[in-house]
Amino acid sequence: MRVSEEDTMTQIFTLASASPRRRDLMALTGWDVRLAAVDVDEDVNPGEDAHALACRLAQAKAKRAAEESSSHGILLAADTVVEYEGQLLGKPIDNADAIRMLTALRGRVHSVVTALAIVPPGNGALRTEACETQVPMREYAMEEMNAYVDSGCAFDKAGGYGIQDGDFQPVALERMVGCFANVMGLPLCHLVRTARRLGIEPPNDVPVACQAYTGYTCPVYDEILRDVS
């Protein structure tokens, strides 16, 4: 049976992001992924919290990418925001800013919110959903923190750290109850759930692939994927 171009496009994701972490996580799904990074104004509006900011920016990225590509399969954009005690933490601008963020987060729990904005094939109605993880940080030593910042790994990451950075291991994973991939920037089970609502199933067993990749035993994936209403 001949497969139409339209049917083929329904299985292709266009990822509107330049993040190598999101690219690596998308590879775990088995879907065909194309990259189409976009730039949007990421200034925070007055009174905007992490959830509102992440959703607004993810939607803005998706809309911009849709404007720039008329044939994109499923278009996916995401935005991740770190919030601690009401303060939104972006990407550090220099070493001092990274040290400031990591010092504030050390030994405490903060929130990471990632919003997904998805445009179905044919520029259908935009869908948005967000995932929040409470992240407990360990009591890392100043020497560890300084070495991590000096390595350059703290940059291009909201909050100044990467949960996946094994040499530093900033997060107390034994105390975390939530989505690891969300903290990396792309909550995969939320993505799968949304795709299923569109009638699209990933080629791979995503929870198995994600846990193998991260080395984290996820306690929440089953609950997330049960909710397909």
SS3 220: coil
Closest C-alpha to 135, from 166, 97, 107: 107
| Token output for 34 | 């194309």
Q: Which residues contact 5 (CB under 8 A, 6 or more apart)?
A: none
Q: How far apart are CA 112 and CA 135, in angstroms?
A: 7
Other Cβ atoms within 10 Å of 120 Cβ, number: 20
**Among this protein's residues, is 79 annotated catalytic?**
yes
Structure tokens at 95: 């070493």
Task: Please give the backbone phi and psi of residue 220, each rounded to the nearest 5 degrees, phi first.
Answer: -120, -10
Nearest to 99, CA basis, from 42, 161, 156, 50: 161
Catalytic residue, chosen from 7, 39, 49, 79, is 79
Could you list the active site residues?
A: 79
